[in-house]
Structure 1
Amino acid sequence: MHDLVPAPWNGVIYEFMDVVRRMEDATLVAPVVPDPYNRSFWKNCRKTMRNTLGRLLALAAMPTASEAPRTEVEGDFDLTFYACQFPHEIREINCVPGWRKRTRKACIFLLETWSRDVEKLRQHYRHLDMFDHVFVFNAGSVPLIQRHTRTPVTYLPTAVDTLLLPASRYTVSQRCVDYVCIGRRLNRVHGRMLELCGRDNRFYVFDLWRGMKAKDWDAVRLQNADLAARARHYVVWKPVKGTGAAAETTLTTRYFEGASSGAVMIGSTPDIPEFKGLFSSPEAIVNMPTDPDRTADFLEQLEADADRYAAIARANRLDVLSRHDWAHRWAEMLAVLGLASSPGLDARLAELRRRHAVESGAEPHLIEVRLPAAMPVAAPTLAAASAMASASSPVSAAPPGGLHNAIPGTLSGALPGTIPGDAALPNPEPAQARQAH
């Protein structure tokens, strides 16, 4: 849904699909959609009316009309992997007629599944019966969703493209941004941080706009990663849905992005059981006081303890390299589906282990990463569909440089298979090259 809804949350699935494409010999199949930045006045009016109607129908658990055009796909596949953000997008995969008859196995990764909304959206969850396995990233919703589908449902946290930029790209002295906050923030603490930064000549980067739309997802990913890699502190607050006893929280992708960056994460820890199993350090996130009068003392005490400061950042980075890259999630999915690992996946996991060994035993500024030689590509036999995939033609091969804009589509390739040269490891091209793909 990237071209239709080029909103910030869709970048998570775009990144996952891009990493998968780099590991597997894959062909992206996606509907052609209009340019969302080139709409006439009346087209914008129709789009607004359709979106409003869609939200009303979603509240009533009624089907909505799809914007994804019918897309014909030829060939048979071992696996179809579909990913989307919201329950009402589950059935968008049907824009590819007959897709289920031509794939041996199918799975879906569904991101936003708040427990309090499962019952009222139950009609959407019944479409999950099309798949062999369902992965969701909100663990608390698993038993509730399972009531509305015959398909097994498994918790799968999100992750990060750990190798997009190494944390070692900048030394501590080169981390020129004092605080980075992308996404949600606690306004009373945010206001106090602005005051302190103005007083102490600190550099604080945070979101200024609402309703943002991405024109180039590769550029968005690279900018966010580079910004985090230049930061000393990465501010992340837990999401909360509802209030009081009914309040629910989950572990968002921002935690993995912050851990991967080599910055110290500050903010709030999600109070959910699965969090403790994902990070080894008890201080993976240093909890900030919510009283703004205590903000200055908190920041001063944290930075005064250099050894503690370095240990937190180091432990988080090593955690991500060892278990929170998208390759780790892909490996988990293949294991659940009973599919063998591919040479491309094995190559990326090996690079992650190598990077972990280097970063755990060397000074960060001494780490040097080299690209491996190109690897052969096998014949396509995998299909992966994403509500976050798009291409310039109904059926097109994904270029070696990366997966481009996204919408309900299909990624096809080899399982097992290998990856073209730049994907074999995983260190990305320079910014200019990536943006030109």
Structure 2
Amino acid sequence: MSVIFNLDAKKNARILLLSLRKIKFHVARCYLYELEDLICEFDSADILTPVFNPDLFKVTNRIANTMAQAVGSSRLINPLFKQFNLDKEYELFFIICQSPLDILTINSIKNWRNKCRRVVVWLDEIWAKDIEKWKVQLSFLQEIDYIFMNFSQSIEGVSKIIQRPCEYIPFGIDAIKFCPYPLNRERSVDLYSVGRRSQVTHQALLNLSERINFFYIYETIKDLYTADHRYHRSLYKNILKKSRYFIANRAKIDDANATGDQQEVGARFFEGAAAGTVMLGVPPECESFTRNFDWEDAVIQVAYDAPNIVEILAELDSQPDRLQKIRTNNVVNSLLKHDWVYRWETILATVGLDSTPAMMARKARLQNLVERILTRKNSDERSAAHYSDRIHKQDRTQMPVV
């Protein structure tokens, strides 16, 4: 099967995106494709999508990366074997590499450096202990103008190799679509858990769901792939918006061999907060977490192995006012801080490009949502206070005269 390049072009586009959405279908990549879709909405962007057999690409990509390691260079090695020739110029070429294994796909564009004034790579996941292993692939980034990275504690090591500007950038979220307001759906899912989980905690929750009316959603399949990332994100956000509690732990909490005990912020925290869930788990002990989730009870700390999870939930359920405050704070802070438009604004400012009118309109919409939520919250509080005061007065009038 030969490679086909699909270019979804816009008139006068200033941005070029290279997307692996027709090659990489794992659900773990869907939030990155969400960012690409939004860039196309609020900026003028062409999106170049190679179409290739995903199983065959696993083989060719592994061979290409092995060859790069063997020869000590990655500049001419292309896992797709075919190149696309750009026929127009762009202000910015942007690609998200979830792994260093993705870097070589840049070679599938023949003249990317000549046709693009600025080039930015978003490097999603690389652990500090593995940086030396990926030295050949990372050296390719010496031709890139700016590198943005999610893993804050890996930046120094990558920067030493490539000698290019490397900056931390947190995950983001489509805060508008994940926002539970204004519909304010009933939260009919009691607890939602995705990805890695503790068998101890899981078994306690299973036992609870067998005993009482407790709706517990969890994954039963490994190596999840999706035919369409938009469908997956839609299903995911709708379950989250209907969930009361959500398990969120630091990235790869149960795999110290993979992380080297490095603690980083995973995407789960941004997703759970934006949907207004009450997050339970073990957050990372790092500056990037405290900076991005700096409000009270953003995550309620619960041990990874929590045999007493049922008692913890019962205690929380006895505090409805606290739970409502947590949900509101999570949603409001997500709208103000974590929408993808803020991440894209940071990238544009770094490379010297202006924000677009559509970006300004989206930020205004985010602010409007915040104001509506807070206005309704204040109204609900006044109504509750009025009702409490009325009941108190009725009780006093019914008191016997002594």
Fold match (TM-score > 0.5): yes
1:299 and 2:318 matched: no
User: Following superposition of structure 1 onto structure 2, how do residues 204-353 of structure 1 map, counting pairs within 5 Å?
Assistant: 204-239=216-251, 240=253, 241-242=255-256, 246-353=260-367
Residues 75, 55 of structure 1: alpha-carbon distance in 2 compared, 3 angstrom cutoff? closer
Following TM superposition, by how much is the alpha carbon of 1:71 offset from its aligned partner in structure 2, in angstroms? 1.6
How many Å separate the matches in 2 of 1:296 and 1:111? Answer: 35
1:80 and 2:89 matched: no
Question: Residue in 2 aligned with 1:189?
Answer: 201
* C-alpha contact 1:31 1:71 (8 A) present in aligned 2: no
Question: Residue in 2 aligned with 1:13?
Answer: 32
How many Å separate the matches in 2 of 1:287 and 1:16? Answer: 29
How many Å separate the matches in 1 of 2:103 and 2:88? Answer: 22
1:26 and 2:35 matched: no
Q: Which of 88, 101, 105 is residue 92 of structure 1 equivalent to?
A: 105
Following TM superposition, by how much is the alpha carbon of 1:188 offset from its aligned partner in structure 2, in angstroms? 1.3
Amino acid at match of 1:69: K
Mean Cα displacement is larger for which, 314-323 or 49-58?
49-58
> With CA pairs under 8 Å and 6+ residues apart, which has the higher RCO, 1 or 2?
1
Gaps of 5+ in 2: 1-19, 381-402
Residues 230, 170 of structure 1: alpha-carbon distance in 2 compared, 3 angstrom cutoff? farther
Find the residue that maps to 1:215 and give its secondary structure: coil
How many Å separate the matches in 2 of 1:124 and 1:160? Answer: 28
Following TM superposition, by how much is the alpha carbon of 1:319 offset from its aligned partner in structure 2, in angstroms? 0.8
Find the residue that maps to 1:249 and give its secondary structure: coil
Following TM superposition, by how much is the alpha carbon of 1:31 offset from its aligned partner in structure 2, in angstroms? 2.4
User: Following superposition of structure 1 onto structure 2, how do residues 397-412 of structure 1 map, counting pairs within 5 Å?
Assistant: none
Please list the CA deviations of residues 209-228 of structure 1 after superposition, one character each: whole Å capped at 9, or x if unmatched. 11221101111111111110
* C-alpha contact 1:168 1:365 (8 A) present in aligned 2: no
Amino acid at match of 2:292: L
Amino acid at match of 1:90: I
Following TM superposition, by how much is the alpha carbon of 1:30 offset from its aligned partner in structure 2, in angstroms? 2.3
Following TM superposition, by how much is the alpha carbon of 1:55 offset from its aligned partner in structure 2, in angstroms? 7.5
Find the residue that maps to 1:293 and give its secondary structure: coil
* C-alpha contact 1:169 1:229 (8 A) present in aligned 2: no
How many Å separate the matches in 2 of 1:244 and 1:106? Answer: 30
How many Å separate the matches in 2 of 1:55 and 1:151? Answer: 22
* C-alpha contact 1:280 1:315 (8 A) present in aligned 2: no
Mean Cα displacement is larger for which, 156-165 or 223-232?
156-165
Q: Which of 119, 133, 136 is residue 149 of structure 2 equivalent to?
A: 136
Q: Which has the higher helix share?
A: 2
How many Å separate the matches in 2 of 1:169 and 1:188? Answer: 37
Question: Residue in 2 aligned with 1:419?
Answer: none
Amino acid at match of 1:88: L
* C-alpha contact 1:236 1:267 (8 A) present in aligned 2: yes
Find the residue that maps to 1:148 and give its secondary structure: helix
* C-alpha contact 1:8 1:214 (8 A) present in aligned 2: yes
How many Å separate the matches in 2 of 1:245 and 1:135? Answer: 20
Mean Cα displacement is larger for which, 243-252 or 84-93?
243-252
Amino acid at match of 2:218: F
* C-alpha contact 2:249 2:283 (8 A) present in aligned 1: yes
Question: Residue in 1 aligned with 2:130?
Answer: 117
When Rg is computed on C-alpha atoms for both structures, the one with the higher figure is 2
* C-alpha contact 1:171 1:364 (8 A) present in aligned 2: no
For this pair of structures, how many residues does the alignment match? 356
How many Å separate the matches in 2 of 1:244 and 1:17? Answer: 28
Question: Residue in 1 aligned with 2:391?
Answer: none
Find the residue that maps to 2:335 and give its secondary structure: helix
Please list the CA deviations of residues 74-118 of structure 1 after superposition, one character each: whole Å capped at 9, or x if unmatched. 111111111111112112112111111111111110101111100
Following TM superposition, by how much is the alpha carbon of 1:27 offset from its aligned partner in structure 2, in angstroms? 2.2
Residues 48, 261 of structure 1: alpha-carbon distance in 2 compared, 3 angstrom cutoff? closer
Following TM superposition, by how much is the alpha carbon of 1:350 offset from its aligned partner in structure 2, in angstroms? 1.1
How many Å separate the matches in 2 of 1:125 and 1:196? Answer: 48
Q: Percent identity over the alignment?
A: 24
Question: Residue in 2 aligned with 1:425?
Answer: none
* C-alpha contact 2:21 2:49 (8 A) present in aligned 1: no
How many Å separate the matches in 2 of 1:149 and 1:224? Answer: 37
Residues 50, 202 of structure 1: alpha-carbon distance in 2 compared, 3 angstrom cutoff? same
Amino acid at match of 1:359: I
* C-alpha contact 1:134 1:154 (8 A) present in aligned 2: yes
* C-alpha contact 2:151 2:264 (8 A) present in aligned 1: yes
Question: Residue in 2 aligned with 1:66?
Answer: 79
Gaps of 5+ in 1: 37-43, 367-437
Find the residue that maps to 1:168 and give its secondary structure: coil
Following TM superposition, by how much is the alpha carbon of 1:285 offset from its aligned partner in structure 2, in angstroms? 0.6
Following TM superposition, by how much is the alpha carbon of 1:2 offset from its aligned partner in structure 2, in angstroms? 2.4
